[in-house]
């Protein structure tokens, strides 16, 4: 099979009507924070047990087409000894892998960040493929302030994302391109729209320069929302209108799917905002979907509490959240469904 065909097959499996992506790629420090919130110690055994529970949720494949894994998870097995990547693949769910190595301050651009991990990426991707991963994910973060992101920050982050995506495609791995504009701060929705438009313009210019095949990427961006400290907030309809306006100006129709990150929204907010986009703009040129981490997992974590006897409740909580986001994919969600 040639590389382009491999990429097209993976995209076809990842981008399916009514389905989205579960982000279960929390780094060791991040999942330790998630576990601490429910008074559970983050050990390798408990991380394996929790993620195994998520991946074996009955009926998960009805609403989830792909799962992003952390490197540790790709080496772990379910209780019966099956590699967790195979557990997903056996359900028709595509396993993928987070490949960035976290961000650092960007020199000479105070307040901006840049992500590391490009060195040796091609070789790592080859190894991940042998373990079952078919796509990858790389996150760049953009803080919003009066001065950020700077022109240097926009350019450096876009260049890094494009280099990552080009390397992935050369290895037959579909890249999820994640430019996350942080929700932290008291900025208005108009300021968020201004920044996200600039970010996406720079990202797609860099992708074009590096000859990345847009038909074989998934975009994982932020929704256009006001900062979390701004009051009053925005309605789902305001978020939908602002987001679609920006994306129509910046995202080529060749991109098959926009799988939004939840980025600090509550599970209910993330679902309602996605639903508004699909309800109000059914003719969008891309699939409007989700790639949520905490917004899918938070109810499951609360139900689990680190206890084996809570396994059924954990899986039911994840299934319910996936079902609601599946409805939002079709513009058919309503807050009444939360009950």
Domains of the chain by residue range: 3-338
Instruction: State yes or no: pLDDT of 233 exceeds 90.
Output: no
Instruction: Give the helix ranges, DSSP H, for the chain.
Output: 3-14, 28-36, 44-55, 71-74, 84-89, 121-130, 151-170, 189-209, 236-250, 267-280, 294-304, 311-328
Residues catalogued as catalytic: 178, 220
pLDDT, averaged across the chain: 97
What pLDDT score was predicted for residue 339? 81
pLDDT of residue 79: 87
- DSSP summary character for residue 73: H
pLDDT-derived band at 58 (thresholds 50, 70, 90) equals: very high
107-136 tens-digit pLDDT: 999 999 999 999 999 999 999 999 999 999
- 332 in helix, strand or coil? coil
Chain centroid offset of residue 169 CA: 18
Give the predicted TM-score (pTM) of the model: 0.97
Q: Is 108 exposed, middle or buried (0-12, 13-18, 19+ CB in 10 A)?
A: exposed
CATH of domain 3-338: 3.20.20.70
Q: Calculate mean pLDDT across residues 68-80.
A: 94
């Amino acid at each position: 099979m040639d590389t382009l065909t491999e990429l097209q097959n993976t995209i076809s499996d990842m981008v399916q009507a009514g389905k989205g992506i579960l982000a279960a790629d929390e780094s060791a420090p991040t999942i330790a924070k998630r576990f601490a919130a429910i008074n559970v110690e983050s050990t390798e055994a408990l991380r394996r047990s929790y993620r195994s529970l998520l991946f074996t949720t009955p009926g998960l494949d009805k609403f989830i087409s792909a799962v992003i894994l952390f490197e540790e998870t790709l080496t772990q097995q379910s209780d019966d000894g099956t590699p967790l990547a195979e557990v997903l693949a056996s359900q028709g769910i595509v396993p993928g892998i987070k490949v960035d190595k976290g961000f650092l301050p960007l020199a000479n651009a105070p307040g901006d960040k840049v992500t590391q991990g490009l060195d040796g990426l091609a070789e790592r991707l080859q190894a991940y493929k042998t373990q079952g991963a078919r796509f990858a994910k790389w996150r760049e973060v953009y803080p919003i302030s009066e001065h950020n992101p700077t022109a240097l920050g926009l350019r450096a982050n876009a260049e890094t994302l494009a280099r990552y995506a080009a390397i992935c495609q050369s290895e037959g791995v579909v890249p999820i391109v994640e430019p996350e504009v942080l929700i932290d701060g008291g900025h208005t929705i108009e300021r968020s729209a201004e920044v996200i438009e600039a970010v996406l313009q720079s990202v797609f210019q860099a992708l074009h320069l590096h000859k990345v095949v847009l038909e074989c990427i998934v975009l994982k961006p932020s929704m256009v929302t006001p900062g979390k400290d701004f009051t009053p907030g925005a309605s789902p309809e305001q978020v939908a209108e602002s987001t679609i306006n920006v994306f129509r100006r910046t995202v080529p129709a060749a991109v098959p799917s926009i799988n939004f990150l939840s980025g600090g929204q509550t599970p209910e907010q993330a679902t309602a905002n996605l639903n508004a986009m699909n309800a109000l703009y059914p003719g969008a040129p891309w699939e409007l979907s989700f790639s949520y981490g905490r917004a899918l997992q938070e109810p499951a974590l609360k139900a689990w509490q680190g206890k084996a006897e809570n396994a059924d409740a954990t899986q039911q909580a994840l299934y319910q959240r996936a079902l609601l986001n599946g409805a939002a994919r079709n513009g058919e969600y309503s807050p009444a469904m939360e009950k």
